[in-house]
Amino acid sequence: MDHDVPPPAVDPAWEDAHTDYGPDPRPCPSPRGLAVSDAEWRSFLENDTPNGWLLRSSTLLETLTSGRPIHLMHTTTYLESIRASRQLYQAAGCLVGALYCTPLTREPAGLRPHNLGTWLLDNKPGTHTIVFEVDPGRPMPAEGIDYLRLGGVHLRTYLDHQAFLTAAEDDQIRRAAVQRIRQASEYLDLLLAAACGTTPPTGHLLDRLAAAVNAVPFLGYLYFEAAAEYLMLHSTSRETAACAQAGELNNRPYKRLAFTAVDTMGHLFDLALFHPGRDRLQELIGQIEPDLVPGAVGYISRRVAHLFACAALEPGADATTVTFREATFGTLARTAPGLLGQMLFRLLRTNPRYPQLFPIIEQAKATAASAYWNARGIPTPFNGVIPKGEIGLNLAWPADARAWVTDTCQRGLLHPVEELELTFVPRLADLRETALGRARFALTTGARADAFPLPPAADAAAVTNH
């Protein structure tokens, strides 16, 4: 006798961390008391910005929801290791374990990279390009993961894995998280007041934001994403118009912004280092597209305030009553779990013992994310802060995918030249085989050289996402 099999259950915390870009989108969770609702912001972005229509009907979204095979491009310095081992591992980052890729469009003469892909090809010398083909089997939901809203997941993962910390480490991390939030409390309260409309989000908000990033690094991520959104949605340059004609948001302006604002961004893409003051931000945007300077400060100030309220607070909280001045771990866990989780995540990431904690804490998140994607039928999750072209390959997807090494012709099209027989392993690559590990954890304070043995070089996968 046949029995109907119910679909797999999805984790509400991971569902809340995804933005729905479908025709009838699921509302994003947000607190009460905001001057402009998230739905109103969404309507403004889609309908009242020059490129907002791409939030509804870009080639990225159309490809994902078509149900047809999807082609992705991945750059790597590990081709020989991958070829020898025949294995690919997950990589931690903004795509939470998915292998960082960009979309490809099939044309009669070859595979055309998305403009983010062409940027990678132009700016990542010494890398090789692999093309993946994955067949979702049916149309995928247009849901993208928003790493800015992962604070609740970070908090839950920390609480579930406290036993891996010593009592002293746990106490130090908790104290540091609360202390830093209290240190920046005057500014954080000001952000909430601006989001609720009780304080005008004037230009000085960005100067104070820049000063507060050192205490609360998560603010740098919010700041950058608001600035990147402004550039992508408002740009009217010829370059942007050409991208829009191809159904793509232009990724090059925000890449120029990041690499000009932070000298070390090419070494490690760390948005906690993004903190230009108001005048410096205007100068940077002027170098990219002068016509965008007049509206930048006002837009980014308003947007950062709103994004902070939505990312930091519990959806049921009243943003007009929350204050961070006398914050405790308990009150933050109840009213601002997103902010607390992001702070704990950052403190763990800079902990000297992070190489030991990485395969425990980060693997738990990567596995949970993959489980959500599989339950929702998503083999290729994308960065849903905005569908700009960052898309991942879910290495835990149960169906087969094919992979090829490619050549690039003079027209910039990719041509598969060698098929790779690969096993996709839903396990994170060793930390020291990532950009983050190479940048910060090549030597671990107080640890023996053999304390964290590397896997064979052939098992190495990709660099950290972003």
Query: Percentage of the chain with pLDDT > 70?
Result: 90
Secondary structure (DSSP) of 263-313: TTTTT---GGG----HHHHHHHHHHH-GGGHHHHHHHHHHHHHHHHHHHHS
pTM for this structure? 0.92
**Averaged pLDDT for residues 126-134:** 95
Residue 201 has pLDDT above 80, yes or no: no
From 340, 358, 342, select the one nearest 436 (Cα to Cα).
Answer: 358
Q: Which of 1-5, 416-420, 451-455 has the lowest mean pLDDT?
A: 451-455
Band (pLDDT 50/70/90 cuts) for residue 458 is very low
Gap between the Cα atoms of 353 and 349, Å rounded: 9
Query: Residue 390 CB: number of other CB atoms within 10 A?
Result: 27
| Helix/strand/coil for 430 | coil
Query: Are 430 and 362 spatial neighbours (Cβ–Cβ below 8 Å)?
Result: no
Per-residue pLDDT tens digits for 251-271: 999 999 999 999 999 888 999
Residue 448 has pLDDT above 50, yes or no: no
What pLDDT, on the 0 to 100 scale, is given for residue 449? 31
For 415, list phi and psi in degrees, rounded to 5: -135, 115
From 209, 323, 335, select the one nearest 271 (Cα to Cα).
Answer: 209
Per-residue pLDDT tens digits for 331-372: 999 999 999 999 999 999 989 999 999 999 999 999 999 999
Secondary structure (DSSP) of 8-40: PP--HHHHHTEEE-SSSPPPPP--B--SS-HHH
Per-residue pLDDT tens digits for 49-97: 999 999 999 999 999 999 999 999 999 999 999 999 999 999 888 899 9
